[in-house]
A and B are shown apart, each in its own frame.
Chain A
Amino acid sequence: MKKRYIVSFGIALLICFSSFGALIVFTDIYNEVKSSIVDVICLSCLKLNPKTSMDFTFETANGKAHPNFILENLSKGPIFLHYSEDDCPACDIMFPVIKQFFNLELQKEKSYYTIAKFRNQTVPYFYIYLDDKDTSDQWLNTFYLYDKDHIQGLPMFTVVSLGYEHGGDIKPYYTTIYSAFKDNLEQRIQLLTELMDEAFRLYNENKAGYNHHH
């Protein structure tokens, strides 16, 4: 009886251990858990929302340079970057808000680029879905570049415009806001409108001096 028990125990342990090993080796579960739970701050677990500040800055969050696709698109207009991921309640709230704001046809789980319009002006729009495997590393890396307040939480919205730096150069000047940031659709649209108005004011002031090759 005891021998039979030891054998069944051994088999149970073996199944458990080998399934775990197979899961680690043949799926990307380890990276999925790391990137979607451990590395990203869970705002719903914290019961907190990041304080929204629309202050623009020249300093990138990780000190790295703006990538080429941002510098190139800046010659078209202020850039809007919309970051989202799987299983994120605040992302689900904000997705239809952004769709309505820019009048876009989007798929929630696919990263996407288009030229959107705001008051008939051009806005290069990037939808960066962190869990879409087809999203380029260049796009994904901007999540850490523009995480202005080091929140590492989603959803995140970045507007890159142009600003006049004290050194005399016209450079990318950006701000980032996080989460659902207001209580209802009307307030969210109003805040986004104020943000884009400010982005265009800065852009129109400085675009004449901007050269993305510099």
Chain B
Amino acid sequence: MKFQIKRLWSQILVAISANLGPLGLKTGFCFPFFYCNACPAATSACPLRSIEKSVYKTNFSWSLLVYPLLILGFFGTITGRAICGWACPIGLLQRGTGKVAKKLKKYSIIKKIGKNKLELYFRYTKYFILFGLVILTTALIGFMFTDICPVGFLTGTIPTLILNPGKFIFGFYFWPAFIILVLFLILIFTVERGWCRYFCPVGAILAPFNKISFLHVEVDKKNCIKCNVCSINCPMGIDVPNMVRDPECILCGKCVDVCPKKIIFYKGL
């Protein structure tokens, strides 16, 4: 079986296992990836919801904060950000939309955006979202991120409205969240893995683990012919030949697959 097909199967199986709620499987664990507990089929809790609840209006609950961080930390220490590439259902969604985004790369405006120097700095947005919207605003004002979360809208709000017609009315944040969902869809259809690159707060938690994780992707720089095929195929837009344990790498293995010299490889420690 081809490597990328194996990865697709892994993503599909995890997406199914994250949605076994209708079979009665509701656990007290947090997902080690980004998925909404408000999805009617969800089996576990969103790690961000647990973090939000831990700091809500400064009523600090250490266990609700440490618990999702340990779950993410455990997987992060072993596999780094491979969770994003191999397990996250929103990653699976973006794998589908990424094909459209790849085709759009031909257009000069998209190319220009991709090559803009500021694009690299824009990737820090996810850290601001994590500390600003998930932690700070929740502590000082009240829930904010989950109120406007596009993934919650996509996997929670829409299925709930379909399954319970006439049972709910739109809340205060419905329309702002709907606009954010539209922007989210535009983003993932125009930029490959746009959500993971710029906005995902769970990705922001997992990213630093790439620096120390057991599993990582390495490049034999001495033998690199600088053909750049790896970078062109990288869904995260990483400069692969020059990367050293890049926090953005989701270990999808596309660069490993396409390297003509086979000098990019997975490595344990």
Contact = CB atoms under 8 A, between A and B. Distances in A.
Contacts of B108: none
B167 A33 contact: no
Contacts, number: 140
Contacts of B66: 19, 23
Contacts of A87: 52-53, 56-57, 59, 143
Nearest to B152: A45
B173 A47 contact: yes
Interface in B23-49: 26-30, 36-38, 42-46, 49
A25 interface: no
Interface in B80-104: none
User: By DSSP majority rule, is chain A's interface helix, strand, loop, or mixed?
Assistant: helix
Contacts of A46: 38, 152, 156-157, 160, 168, 171
Nearest to A40: B37
A20 interface: yes
Interface residues of B, number: 55
A38 B38 contact: no
Interface stretch (B1-9, B68-76, B253-261): B68-76
A75 to B, nearest CB: 34
A51 B45 CA distance: 25
A43 B156 CA distance: 10
19 contacts: A5-B269, A13-B77, A20-B74, A33-B45, A34-B28, A37-B37, A38-B37, A44-B147, A44-B171, A45-B146, A45-B149, A46-B152, A46-B171, A47-B157, A47-B170, A47-B172, A48-B168, A51-B169, A149-B167
Interface of A: 2, 5-6, 9, 12-13, 16-17, 19-20, 23, 27, 29-39, 41-51, 86-87, 89, 149, 151
Interface of B: 26-30, 36-38, 42-46, 49-50, 52-53, 56-57, 59, 63-64, 66-67, 70-71, 73-74, 77-78, 142-143, 146-149, 152-153, 156-157, 160-161, 166-174, 177, 212, 214, 269
